[in-house]
């Protein structure tokens, strides 16, 4: 939906539209935190959270909300403000420890998880490759 004002144009974007916008901007570099060579963070837990994310319960706070936010950072933040998810359930599904908040911050900040329950295509590819390597395929 769009709303025009006298000299300025304000564009209202919805949740799904913004999800698609960010999916089109995915890059392989976004997945650096999932690489097995990364020694400074718990990459195994990050990968387990990525795998568990689509299975976790989440709910939209206001399904009809739109935003006129400008800029990628503000729009990304708005998207995540529209969703509630159960961290305890996600922690159980993924089998990760008490540091789930900081791990989710990494995944969300690198735009590897989407608030609609989907996962970055590049993150999926990296995880698939890690498992193929571990299984010797």
Bridge-based pairing state of the strands 58-60 and 83-85: antiparallel
Quick: pLDDT tens for 79-108: 999 999 999 999 999 999 878 999 999 999
pTM metric for this prediction: 0.83
Encode pLDDT of 101-127 as tens digits.
Answer: 999 999 999 999 999 999 999 999 999
- Alpha carbons within 13 A on the beta-carbon side of 59: 3
Would you tell me how many other CB atoms lie within 10 Å of the CB of residue 31?
21
> Across all residues in the chain, what is the average pLDDT?
85
Q: How confident is the model at residue 69 (pLDDT cuts 50, 70, 90)?
A: confident
Q: Torsion angle of alpha carbons 79, 82, 87, 91, nearest 10°? A: -40
Which of these, 77, 76, 78, lies nearest to 65 by C-alpha position?
78
Residue 4 has pLDDT above 70, yes or no: no
């Amino acid at each position: 939906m769009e709303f025009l004002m006298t000299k300025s144009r304000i564009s209202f974007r919805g949740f799904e539209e913004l999800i698609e916008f960010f999916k089109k901007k995915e890059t392989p570099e976004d997945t650096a935190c999932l690489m097995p060579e990364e020694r400074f963070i718990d990459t195994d837990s990050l990968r387990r959270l990525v795998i568990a994310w689509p299975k976790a319960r989440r709910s939209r706070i206001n399904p009809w909300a739109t935003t006129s936010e400008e800029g990628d950072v503000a729009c990304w933040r708005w998207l995540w403000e529209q969703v509630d998810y159960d961290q305890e359930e996600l922690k159980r599904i993924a089998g990760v420890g008490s540091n789930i908040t900081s791990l989710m911050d990494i995944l969300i900040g690198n735009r590897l998880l989407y608030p609609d329950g989907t996962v970055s295509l590049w993150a999926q590819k990296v995880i698939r490759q890690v498992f193929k390597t571990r299984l010797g395929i």
